[in-house]
Every structure is written in C-alpha cells, then in structure tokens.
Amino acid sequence: MNEYVYGIDIGGTNIKLGLFTLPGMKMIDVKEVETPRQNQETSIFEKIGSIILEMNQVNGIEFKQVKGVGAAVPCPVKNGHVDKCPNLKWNKLDIIFAFNKVLPDHVRVAVSNDATLAAYGENQILEKPYKNAVFYTLGTGVGGGIIINGEILEGATGLGGEIGHMRVFDGATETCGCGSQGCLEQICGTSGILNYTKELSLSSTSSIDFKNLSVKSVFDAAKAGDKVGLQVINRVAEYIAISASIIAVILDPDVFIIGGGISKAGSFLVDLISQHYQKHARFSSYKVPFLLASTGNDAGIIGAAYLIRKQI
C-alpha cells in the first residue's frame, strides 16, 4: 500500500497544500485556497483538515495511507509553539495540538518557520544537498533560513534565520515593523525598494512608470539601463551583500541561496550581490557562492514535506 505525506504552507492570504509520495517525495497533487479570516486559531486548521480529506478522495487515498503533515508558518516557532503570529492572529498557540484536533491520531505533525522550510526544501531537492546553507527570501519582507550540518537552525526561541531584522545601516528615519531602525528589510523589502525609488525620482529623470510602480517595474528599468532603477537595485544588492558578509564570518556557510518574489529578477540581481560581496567578504568567506532558488512558490510545501518525512 502506497504511503504519503502532506506539505502545507500557511500564509496570511493563502494556504497551499502539496501531496507527496513516500519514499520518493514526488508531488502528485497541489491545491491552494484562501486563508480563513475569522477565528483563525481554529478555522485555519478546520479548513486544512477538510482540504486534506478532499485531496485524499480525489487521489483515491485512504487516510491510513497518510503518515504525516508538515507545515510552514509565517512566524517564529519552537517545538510546535507560536508565541505571536500577527499575520494569522495567533497568540500562544500550540500548532501541533491544533492539527491533532482535525487529523486522525496516527498522523504525525511537524511545523517550522516558512522561510526556514523554504531553505530546507530548496536544499533537499539538490542532487547533493549542502551541509551548511543560508537562504534569503526577498519579497514583501526579508526572511531567511539557516541549515547547519544538514539540520534546520531554529535557535532557542525560534528566531533563528530572521535575517531581515539585522541592523545594517545608520541614519534610518522610519521604524521597522519589528520596532528597530536600520533593518535589512527596510531597504530590501518591497516598501523599501519603492520608497527609495520615489525618493530618487524627485531629483533624477527616469523611464519608470510611477503611476504603476512595482518592484518588477524598477528591476525592468534597471535591466534597461535606467539610472534610478540601477541605483535602487544596486543599493539592494549591496546591503544583502553586507549582511551576507557578516553571516559568513559567523556561520561559514557553503552557499547563499536567494529566493522569494524579488528573486525573479534572476541572475541580474544575484550577479550584483556577488560583486558587492567580494568587496565586503573577509578571510576565506569570499569563496562562498550565491545561487538562485529553483523551487519558486513551492519551496514552503516542499520543505514542510521533507521535514515531516524526516520525523516519521
């Protein structure tokens, strides 16, 4: 009898579920649904339970064939517990217990941070996974995941990998969502990119369409040689490189992997980061390569599925 696991990525807007075979980890089905907005500490798990049942039926699977569920969540998590998750209105929630209420007793559950699991998933699908890897997720915010000796680094309280809240510059006039100033996320997240683009446009001419301003339009302009676009993206690349150079002398990783929506800029961005990194790297850390993530929006569910596979 075939066996399966589910990888689930729980986001503030959508929930994505992937069904994977064991032991081969082939994804045979995927479904994305809107995240419930009300009573989220219960409704999210009830929704997931019903979708799993539906996917089982569609694929001709009995629940006894499902051995585990792995879940990625958009907040720090430790041993399945979340202290606070603003995007999902969770407070002091035992996620594993919440899952256990909607799943059969035999189904194992594992949970970790979404960016951390994106890193884990990206690394696991490689022909030869890296032992030590650092993953950047560049999007609305800046997240990260750290793999040390092949294991996910959560840290004492689940904060391991919160790269976006490294303080990398002085003179910030605005406060980050974390309450600090000068965070990497303030420069390299969506708001930071768009705000700096608008600021530069006040004193420079640009081909960027400011009526339909987006991160993509800024990158497209930069690729076409637009002065403002180039200045913005160059700044993003340099501060990612600065943060990476700090991480490198602490963790000594094998590789930096760049993922998230902004990484769709492709080699244009990664090459710029690598160039700046060479200026800031010290000792043998200058050898650490930067790679583009290859799993795209499936990174979270892949990582979650591999996490639970390891635990069953």
Q: Which tens digits make up the pLDDT trace of 229-277?
A: 999 999 999 999 999 999 999 999 999 999 887 877 888 999 999 999 9
In this predicted structure, the answer to whether residue 141 has a pLDDT above a threshold of 90 is no
Which one-letter DSSP state was computed for residue 13? Answer: S
Residues 93/81, Cβ–Cβ less than 8 Å: yes
Rounded (10°) angle between helices 227-251 and 267-280: 60
The domain at 3-121+297-311 falls in which architecture?
2-Layer Sandwich (3.30)
Q: Which CATH number fits domain 130-293: 3.30.420.40, 3.20.140.10, 3.10.180.10, 3.40.50.970?
A: 3.30.420.40
In this predicted structure, the answer to whether residue 178 has a pLDDT above a threshold of 90 is no
> Start-end ranges of CATH 3.30.420.40 in the chain?
3-121+297-311, 130-293
Question: What is the secondary structure of 147-188 as a DSSP string?
Answer: EETTEE---SSS-TT-GGG-B--S---S--TTS-SSBHHHHH
Q: Which tens digits make up the pLDDT trace of 36-63?
A: 988 989 999 999 999 999 999 999 999 9
pTM metric for this prediction: 0.84
